[in-house]
């Protein structure tokens, strides 16, 4: 097997290293000799091995996700819901606070903490809990002088004006689950009476005055959803859209499978063309909507544009921990019910051996070693792997087909931009860099805070920096 592969693009050839995922492109030239190519490969570091980190180290995780299954209940009955059985138990606010304290104390060198009470039910069914949780996050931020940011995803049916005001005043960044447009949403996302909820959710969203940080969380289950139409529709209301493709292994459950994968790939190709066209015309809004949040394809574009390499698919069980209603600590909210992904309990703490095992699984997955998309994809989701093979370390060929396709589209997107307008690519590059920095510590803020010797607390100074730049600069000048 060649240690590189090629894609064709507008009379150019893009070369992609299978060793490290680096890429470069050349105009098609029949006179190019293998000696020339060797020299260009060397110049572009196409053969450089990426050093692997053999053992788990806490310091590798800068942003720590703390997830709480706040409500085990839900007021909807979505067809594709993974929680068929809902235990009638909930964690108390004291248990939630103790869990937050525990995880924060485990990661003294982390730069940022995200607390997410979405879990496996509808969080707004426990609004008082949610609000008290946010208050605690803010207190904690001031104590540790680092951001402890509350975030959640809701099904949107309970977003009355009053609730939105409370959530926004409490500092929540929140997303709404909405599957594209009416026809696709109402196929799966049903209320207890088995009626579609699209109209109600969009009405609630339209009533939200300040939508700057609002996200749409879209579940892509099959070929029936037009992704381009989804983007056109939802971008009227949301500045961020994240699409999550969901795999199915059971013929009764709608999801991505062997028979529809080519149609799904085609959907992404159309979305790619749509976003590329807009971007080339200088309309960067759609690209921004894709990059802003946690979109699958958006992540690939960001990593390819920045030539950023990832060693693991995710941080589940290593930098992300979730507390279930039964007070078990599991690797991530999606792993609820999978015994192999339990790490301990709020009484016993985290089993370090299991954490080390997750690291080994994620960094050494055999089937990924020769894959060109390895350092952009990071490997298979352990939950998908478990439901497919009852193993955590396998890969799923159907999802791999999709991921390799997205990798190719992301690379073509980058080189289309460079070919057409290098300045435009530079603007996109800066946008990607800004997005990547959002998950890191604001070093300037931390330094200013330190030098103020307690005159301001963390959130006070952050608020000034975010909203009153001039005032912040004055504070810095006179400190
Ligand atoms: S999970 Fe599949 S696409 Fe991703 S790196 Fe592994 S083999 Fe490649
Ligand atoms: S294991 Fe899968 S569901 Fe869990 S955090 Fe990782 S990618 Fe997400």
Unique residue bearing structure tokens 């994968």: 261
What are the structure tokens assigned to 437, written together?
């920095």
* CA of residue 38 to ligand 1 center, whole Å: 27
H helix runs in 218-260, sequence order: 227-234
Which DSSP string corresponds to 325-348?
TT-EEESSGGGTT-GGGEEEETTT
What is the pLDDT at residue 438? Answer: 83
What is the pLDDT at residue 90? Answer: 86
* CA of residue 337 to ligand 2 center, whole Å: 14
Which helix (H) or strand (E) segment holds residue 133: the answer is helix 127-144
Which DSSP string corresponds to 370-404?
T-TTHHHH-S--HHHHHHHHS-SS---HHHHHHHH
Which DSSP string corresponds to 85-103?
S--S----HHHHHHHHHHH
Ligand in closest contact with the CA of 370: 1
- Residue range 58-270+313-354, CATH number: 3.20.20.70
Residues of the chain with pLDDT under 50: none
Tens of pLDDT along 459-475?
Answer: 999 999 988 999 999 88
Mutation test of ligand 1: which of 19, 403, 407 has the most ligand atoms closer than 8 Å to its C-beta? 403
What is the pLDDT at residue 454? Answer: 84
Q: Please, what's the b/e burial string for 252-262 (b: 16 or more CB within 10 A of its CB; e: otherwise)?
A: eebbbbeebbe
Q: Among 242, 253, 258, 304, which Cα is nearest to 401's?
A: 258
Closest atom of ligand 1 relative to the 379 alpha carbon: 1
What is the pLDDT at residue 317? Answer: 97
Tens of pLDDT along 113-152?
Answer: 999 999 888 999 999 999 999 999 999 999 999 999 999 9
Distances in Å between the Cα of 192 and the Cα atoms of 55, 74, 78, 115 are: 47, 9, 9, 28
What is the C-alpha separation between 363 and 366, in angstroms, rounded? 9
What is the C-alpha separation between 128 and 150, in angstroms, rounded? 14
Residues 467, 470, 473, 475, Cα dihedral to 10°: -80
What is the C-alpha separation between 180 and 65, in angstroms, rounded? 27
| pTM for the full predicted model | 0.93
51: DSSP letter: P
3-class state of residue 208 by DSSP = coil
Which helix (H) or strand (E) segment holds residue 240: the answer is strand 240-245
What is the pLDDT at residue 142? Answer: 93
* CA of residue 280 to ligand 2 center, whole Å: 33
Closest atom of ligand 2 relative to the 314 alpha carbon: 6
What are the structure tokens assigned to 245, written together?
């493709």
* CA of residue 32 to ligand 2 center, whole Å: 44
Q: Is the CB of 395 under 6 A from ligand 1?
A: yes
Give the residues surrounding ligand 2 with Cβ less than 6 Å away.
313-314, 316, 320, 332, 334-335, 381-383
Ligand in closest contact with the CA of 407: 1
Backbone angles phi, psi at 427, to 5 degrees: -65, -40
253 alpha carbon, distance to own chain's centre: 24
Residue nearest to atom 7 of ligand 2 (CA): 381
| Residue ranges, CATH 3.20.20.70, the chain | 58-270+313-354
Tens of pLDDT along 158-201?
Answer: 999 999 999 999 999 999 999 999 999 999 999 989 999 999 99
């Amino acid at each position: 097997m060649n240690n590189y592969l090629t894609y064709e693009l507008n009379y150019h050839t893009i070369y992609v290293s299978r060793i490290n995922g680096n890429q470069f492109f050349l105009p098609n030239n029949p006179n190019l000799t293998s000696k020339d190519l060797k020299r260009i490969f060397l110049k572009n570091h196409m053969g450089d091995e990426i050093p692997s980190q053999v053992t788990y180290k806490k310091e590798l995780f800068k942003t720590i996700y703390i997830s709480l299954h706040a409500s085990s209940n839900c007021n909807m009955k979505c067809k594709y819901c993974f929680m068929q059985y809902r235990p009638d138990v909930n964690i108390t606010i004291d248990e939630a606070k103790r869990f937050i304290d525990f995880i924060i104390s485990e990661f003294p060198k982390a730069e940022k903490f995200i607390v997410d009470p979405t879990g496996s039910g509808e969080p707004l069914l426990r609004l008082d809990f949610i609000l008290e949780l946010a208050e605690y996050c803010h207190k904690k931020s001031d104590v540790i002088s680092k951001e402890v940011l509350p975030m959640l995803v809701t099904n949107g049916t309970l977003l009355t004006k009053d609730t939105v005001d409370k959530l926004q005043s409490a500092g929540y960044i929140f997303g709404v689950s909405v599957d594209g447009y009416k026809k696709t949403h109402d196929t799966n996302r049903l209320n207890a009476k088995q009626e579609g909820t699209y109209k109600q959710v969009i009405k609630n969203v339209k009533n939200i005055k300040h939508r700057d940080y609002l996200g749409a969380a879209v579940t892509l289950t099959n070929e029936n959803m037009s992704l381009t139409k989804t983007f056109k529709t939802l971008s009227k209301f949301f500045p961020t859209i994240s699409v999550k493709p969901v795999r199915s292994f059971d013929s009764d459950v709608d999801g991505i499978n062997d028979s529809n994968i080519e149609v799904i790939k085609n959907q992404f190709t159309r979305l790619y063309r749509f976003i590329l066209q807009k971007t080339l015309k200088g309309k960067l809004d759609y690209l921004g909507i894709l990059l802003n949040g946690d979109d699958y394809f958006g992540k690939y574009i960001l990593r390819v544009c920045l030539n950023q390499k990832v060693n693991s698919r995710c941080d589940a069980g290593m930098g992300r921990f979730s507390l279930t209603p039964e007070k078990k600590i599991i690797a991530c909210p999606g792993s609820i019910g999978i015994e192999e992904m339990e790490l301990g309990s709020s009484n016993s703490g985290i089993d370090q051996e299991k954490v080390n095992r997750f690291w080994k699984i994620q960094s050494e997955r055999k089937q990924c070693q020769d894959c060109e998309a390895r350092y952009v994809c990071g490997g298979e989701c352990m939950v998908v792997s478990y439901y497919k093979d009852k193993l955590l370390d396998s890969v799923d060929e159907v999802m791999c087909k999709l991921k390799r396709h997205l990798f190719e589209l992301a690379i073509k997107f980058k080189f289309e931009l460079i070919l057409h307008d290098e300045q435009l690519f530079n603007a996109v590059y800066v946008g990607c860099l800004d997005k990547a920095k959002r998950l890191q510590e604001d070093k300037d803020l931390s330094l200013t805070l330190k030098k103020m010797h307690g005159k301001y607390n963390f959130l006070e100074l952050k608020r000034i920096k975010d909203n009153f730049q001039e005032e912040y600069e004055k504070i810095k000048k006179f400190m």
